């Protein structure tokens, strides 16, 4: 057997590609982030509105990407689109940001969420159990604070990343089996939870929650450390609150573009990538909106805003089934995050591979192993994800990911307009649905979200922007190195 394969093997069907889209999107967010959304906008109407706006943006972006994927059915996806529409620097800035924040921080955040739900069944893996740390001292509540710490939750998250990375170095078929199996399991479990939440719950809070209607409220913690409504908001404050709330829903709906990165391994990519993008995002949007309607049926808003460790779905399952039922749901959420991270790890390495082929990443990253997968790219991705696992909390990672990812989505969709003028005669098996109106609406919404997010949460959104800009000198360094070799 040859030591290295010369090219990717097209072995993924339309169903497989759709499972990559849906499986990469559904990780941990839908089970957690509605609590934070509630604390930002504070009413049933605005909770649902946040998810509907996010769903509209996601589907619009996905069907717009269908045009680009048909034009450039190559491994690397969004990196290739930006390079072709703008220039190599723009493509590199995305690829660099993808490696430094977008993909690796998403892998880290989903792995941390896997640990969080494992801790529900095995408390030893709680973030409160510290393996090692640099102590700062006791706070006002008598709890030890740390300048830096490593918890058993982080250890488990790192172990998950390493295991899935190793599995994916063994070839695309193993990754495909894991993806299809775990995505099917998570879809069935979510549908089951939603349906049973309307038919089996002992006490419905539907009417009570909808009394809040569209009266947006921001919430604050009281003296008992419980979130409660504090003041009504409107105007620019409401727009800012929606932007802050959408950090979670955007994160939960992100990674749908992962299927474009593995174009070289999909059968009939000109047809199947665009179709899988539409089918996958539509399925997930329907699930997310109905899941939030279920939450509003089984729990009062105060409970939605205050679940233990933000494990909202477990609290909802407890309201529907009992304690044992909640444990079953916790297992299903572990399955969901496990499958999600498999899709993220599988797809992400293909971007670095394509960059290396252009001479803009480590040369070794542009090689395939004997199983026709970019093994070195997989391992350096895992190293970066592990560093991010150790560096920040779940919420901090969400702020960095959401800002940078949405910003690049908007820039990529602007690229559709540029390519229509630059390459009017190029083959386009798909054309962006609703062009130019829907893509323009998406761009406006995405840029509004980005501007308000950096205003509302400047620390980590600002770090994300700084990481993007740090790619400029790195690009010129890579170009110089390429010329000298």
What is the predicted pLDDT for the residue at 394?
Answer: 54
CA distances from 297 to 44, 140, 284 (A): 10, 38, 20
What is the predicted pLDDT for the residue at 4?
Answer: 62
pLDDT digits (tens, 9 = 90+) for 385-418: 999 888 766 556 667 777 888 889 999 999 999 9
What is the predicted pLDDT for the residue at 398?
Answer: 64
**Under 8 Å CB-to-CB from 281, ≥6 apart: which residues?**
21, 25, 55, 58, 59, 62, 253, 256
Long-range CB contacts (within 8 A, 24+) of 360-363: 360/88, 360/92, 360/95, 360/475, 360/478, 360/479, 360/482, 361/95, 361/478
What is the predicted pLDDT for the residue at 405?
Answer: 87
CA distance 143 to 323: 29
The ranges of the chain with pLDDT < 50 are 1-2
CA distance 183 to 19: 6
What is the predicted pLDDT for the residue at 22?
Answer: 94
pLDDT digits (tens, 9 = 90+) for 159-192: 999 999 999 999 888 888 899 998 998 898 888 8
Tally Cβ neighbours within 10 Å of residue 354.
27
CA distance 313 to 324: 14
The phi-psi region of residue 59 (left if phi > 0; otherwise alpha if psi is between -120 and 50; otherwise beta) is alpha
What angle is formed at CA 53 by the lines to CA 51 and CA 58, rounded to 5 degrees?
90
**Under 8 Å CB-to-CB from 223, ≥6 apart: which residues?**
none
What is the predicted pLDDT for the residue at 353?
Answer: 94
């Amino acid at each position: 057997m040859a030591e290295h394969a010369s090219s990717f093997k097209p072995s993924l069907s339309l169903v497989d590609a759709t499972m990559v889209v849906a499986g990469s999107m559904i990780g941990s967010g839908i089970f957690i982030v509605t609590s934070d959304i509630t604390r930002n906008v504070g009413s049933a109407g605005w909770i649902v509105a946040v998810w509907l706006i996010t769903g509209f943006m996601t589907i619009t972006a996905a069907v717009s990407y269908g045009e680009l994927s048909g034009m450039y059915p190559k491994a690397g996806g969004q990196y290739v689109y930006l390079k072709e529409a703008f220039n190599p620097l723009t493509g590199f800035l995305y690829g660099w940001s993808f490696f430094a924040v977008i993909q690796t921080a998403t892998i880290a955040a989903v792995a941390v969420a896997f640990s969080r739900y494992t801790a529900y069944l095995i408390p030893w893996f709680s973030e409160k159990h510290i393996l090692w740390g640099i102590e700062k001292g006791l706070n006002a509540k008598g709890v030890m604070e740390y300048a830096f710490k490593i918890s058993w939750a982080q250890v488990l998250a790192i172990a998950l990343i390493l295991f899935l990375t190793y599995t994916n170095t063994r070839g695309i078929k193993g990754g495909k089996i894991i993806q299809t199996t775990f995505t099917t399991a998570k879809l069935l479990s979510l549908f089951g939870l939603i349906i049973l939440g309307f038919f089996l719950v002992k006490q419905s809070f539907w009417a009570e929650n909808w009394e809040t209607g569209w009266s947006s409220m921001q919430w604050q913690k009281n003296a008992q450390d419980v979130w409660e409504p504090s003041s009504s908001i409107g105007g620019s404050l409401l727009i800012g609150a929606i932007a802050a709330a959408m950090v979670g829903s955007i994160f939960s709906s992100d990674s749908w573009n992962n299927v474009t990165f593995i174009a070289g391994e999909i059968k009939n990519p000109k047809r199947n990538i665009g179709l899988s993008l539409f089918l996958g995002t539509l399925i997930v949007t329907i699930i997310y909106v109905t899941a939030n309607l279920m939450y509003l049926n089984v729990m009062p808003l105060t409970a939605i805003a205050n679940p233990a460790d933000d494990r909202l779905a477990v609290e909802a399952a407890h309201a529907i089934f009992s304690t044992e039922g909640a444990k079953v749901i916790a297992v299903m959420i572990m399955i969901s995050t496990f499958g999600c991270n498999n899709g993220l790890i599988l797809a992400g390495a293909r971007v670095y591979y394509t960059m290396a082929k252009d001479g803009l990443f480590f040369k070794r990253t542009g090689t395939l192993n004997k199983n026709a997968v970019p093994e070195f790219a997989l391992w350096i991705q895992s190293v970066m994800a592990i560093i991010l696992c150790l560096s920040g909390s779940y919420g901090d990672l969400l702020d960095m990911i959401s800002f940078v990812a949405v910003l690049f989505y908007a820039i990529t969709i602007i690229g559709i307009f540029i390519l229509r003028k630059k390459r009017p005669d190029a083959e386009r098996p798909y054309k962006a649905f609703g062009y130019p109106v829907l893509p323009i609406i998406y761009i406006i919404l995405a840029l509004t979200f980005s501007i308000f997010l950096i205003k509302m949460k400047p620390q980590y959104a600002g770090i994300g922007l700084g990481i993007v800009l740090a790619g400029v000198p790195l690009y010129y360094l890579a170009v110089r190195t390429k010329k000298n070799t």
